[in-house]
Amino acid sequence: MCFSASVSYSAAAVLVGAGVYALQQARRLDRPYLMWALVPVFFGLQQAFEGRVWQELDAGDARAAVPFALGFHFFSHFLWLWWFPLSSYLVEPGQTSKLGKLRKRVFGGCIIFGAFAGTLVFSVMLSHPEWMAVGMRVHSITYDFSVPYRSSIHLPVTPAALYALTILVPLLFSSHRLIRLWLAGCIVQFVDIGGLWLCLHLCLVLLRCRALALSRLHDPPSCCSRGIKGGSIASHWQGMK
């Protein structure tokens, strides 16, 4: 995160704490959402790594920052490439319609490609940490991983576009409205720090809505006492997606 080590550490503490709470709720109510509950925890750990990068750069030792930069890239260039597609895949109801089955196939392809690409890229980073250069520019950290040779393979899309598509397609085309809103929060995060809190809030809301739906499905008398007919529970849950 931009600005300073203290901001990164503060964000890490808030994210990990909220993630632990979300993880407890997911374990108790709906295990397919465990991966979504872990997202704030992993984001917090990623920010903690970047906090150490800030500290080393402030001390004027860019080479000492490289191991922590690799820790940051473990999440950005390996984990997220398959974690988000898999998280979306596990909560996607794909057995009821052709569109749902198509979503599951596309998300599955993103999982396989993300795992392969992430493993390939991050293994090269680990093998050659000397190719990583870390610096500061206008209150932000710059990471430059320069491979000392050029490939003769020319792809029709850039690696950055492949990276974005692998992560964004499962989020953008998810049938869950709150997951699409969470994606919007991630986009805002790149523009304003307030997007961080929006991402966290929507992740918790996603779990809360799922918990509410499950409690109503498992407690029919309580639902009826509130004026919700048994036949309308499914339509109520569909409106949350």
List own/partner pairs for 54-63 with CB under 8 A and 24 or more apart: 54/4, 54/5, 54/8, 54/141, 55/5, 56/134, 57/134, 57/135, 57/136, 57/141, 58/5, 62/133, 62/134, 62/135
Which one is predicted more confidently, 201 or 107? 107
- CA nearest neighbour of 129 among 63, 55, 182, 190: 63
pLDDT bucket at 32, cuts 50 / 70 / 90: confident
Q: Region 6-30: what's the mean pLDDT?
A: 87
pLDDT bucket at 37, cuts 50 / 70 / 90: confident
Q: Region 134-139: what's the mean pLDDT?
A: 84
What are the CA-CA distances from residue 168 to residues 37, 93, 162, 172 (Å)?
A: 18, 19, 10, 6
What pLDDT, on a 0 to 100 scale, did the predictor assign at position 232?
A: 37
Cα–Cα distance measured from residue 50 to residue 38, given in angstroms and rounded to the nearest whole number = 19
- CA nearest neighbour of 107 among 167, 30, 180: 167
Q: Region 142-156: what's the mean pLDDT?
A: 73
Phi/psi for 134 (5° steps) reads -120, 135
What pLDDT, on a 0 to 100 scale, did the predictor assign at position 19?
A: 87
Contact by Cβ (8 Å): 36, 87: yes
Which one is predicted more confidently, 191 or 145? 145
| Paired strand residues for 132 | 145
Indicate the DSSP class of residue 94: -
Whether residue 194 has pLDDT greater than 50:
no
* Residue for token pair 């260039």: 77
Whether residue 122 has pLDDT greater than 90:
yes
Whether residue 150 has pLDDT greater than 90:
no
What are the CA-CA distances from residue 216 to residues 113, 206, 209, 222 (Å)?
A: 38, 16, 11, 7
Domain ranges of the chain: 5-145+155-240
Structural tokens at position 66? 């490289």
**Per-state percent for the chain, helix, strand, coil, to nearest 5:** 75, 5, 20
Q: What percent of the chain has pLDDT over 90?
A: 33
What are the CA-CA distances from residue 35 to residues 25, 27, 161, 217 (Å)?
A: 12, 10, 25, 22
What pLDDT, on a 0 to 100 scale, did the predictor assign at position 95?
A: 66
pLDDT, tens digit (0-9, with 9 covering 90-100), for 180-193:
877 776 666 554 44
* Residue for token pair 């940051």: 72
What pLDDT, on a 0 to 100 scale, did the predictor assign at position 152?
A: 63
Phi/psi for 3 (5° steps) reads 95, -75
Q: Which residues of 164-190 are buried (b: 16+ CB within 10 A; e: fewer)?
A: eebbbbbbebbbbebbebbbebbebbe
What pLDDT, on a 0 to 100 scale, did the predictor assign at position 166?
A: 92
Please state the pTM of the whole predicted model: 0.74
Q: Region 198-225: what's the mean pLDDT?
A: 51
Q: What is the mean pLDDT of the chain?
A: 78
Which one is predicted more confidently, 216 or 27? 27
What pLDDT, on a 0 to 100 scale, did the predictor assign at position 68?
A: 95
pLDDT, tens digit (0-9, with 9 covering 90-100), for 154-168:
667 788 888 888 998
